[in-house]
Amino acid sequence: MTARGKGRPRKPADSITAFQFGRAAKICAVYDRVRARDQKHDSALTATVEEIKSQNRDIAISKSTVRRTLSTWRPRGANCVVLFEEREATEEELKHRAWLRGEIAKHRAEAGLKLEDLPPIRPKSLVLSIRFGKRPVFPRSNRKSDHE
């Protein structure tokens, strides 16, 4: 039997928790949506923080957190990055979710599992799309024109 090491146990290298991944996805999706409205980088950071806080008051987030997340998930010079897009679920997707929940409940009953009920489906559910693609390039507002 070996002695336990001192200090805090190390986390596995190159891994993140589901919460960290979800938070990064939310930050990137909101930031891209805000930048698509032709806002400058600094005001887009502020708008991202405000929008995320308005959706969930419990999340501790700051401009520094958004900057750190963007630098991790959108490094400069990267050919391919992970892109996150949020949109509202369609009526068909909501019906499919309801059917899936019914199937899950049926299988739970057959197996005799006593698990807590799933939360109700919200009428304005969001769908998160994750894909690989080119790093978004937003136009610079302070770029000098060619004839100056």
Residue 95: which of 115, 125, 118 has the closest Cα? Answer: 125
Give the mean model confidence (pLDDT) for residues 16-27.
91
Structural domain boundaries, residue 82: 18-133
> Mean pLDDT across the chain, nearest whole number?
85
The tens digit of pLDDT for each residue in 75-88 reads 988 889 999 998 88
pLDDT band at 44 (very low <50, low <70, confident <90, very high): very high
pLDDT of residue 146: 61
Residue 81 CA from chain centroid, whole number: 14
39 lies in a domain? yes
9 lies in a domain? no
145 lies in a domain? no
141 lies in a domain? no
94 lies in a domain? yes
Q: Is residue 101's pLDDT more than 60?
A: yes
CA angle 28, 80, 48 (to 5 degrees): 10
53 lies in a domain? yes
pTM passes above 0.75? no
Q: How many domains does the chain have?
A: 1
49 lies in a domain? yes
pLDDT of residue 131: 92
5 lies in a domain? no
Q: Is residue 147's pLDDT more than 60?
A: no
Report which residue type is found at 36.
A
Q: Is residue 142's pLDDT more than 70?
A: no
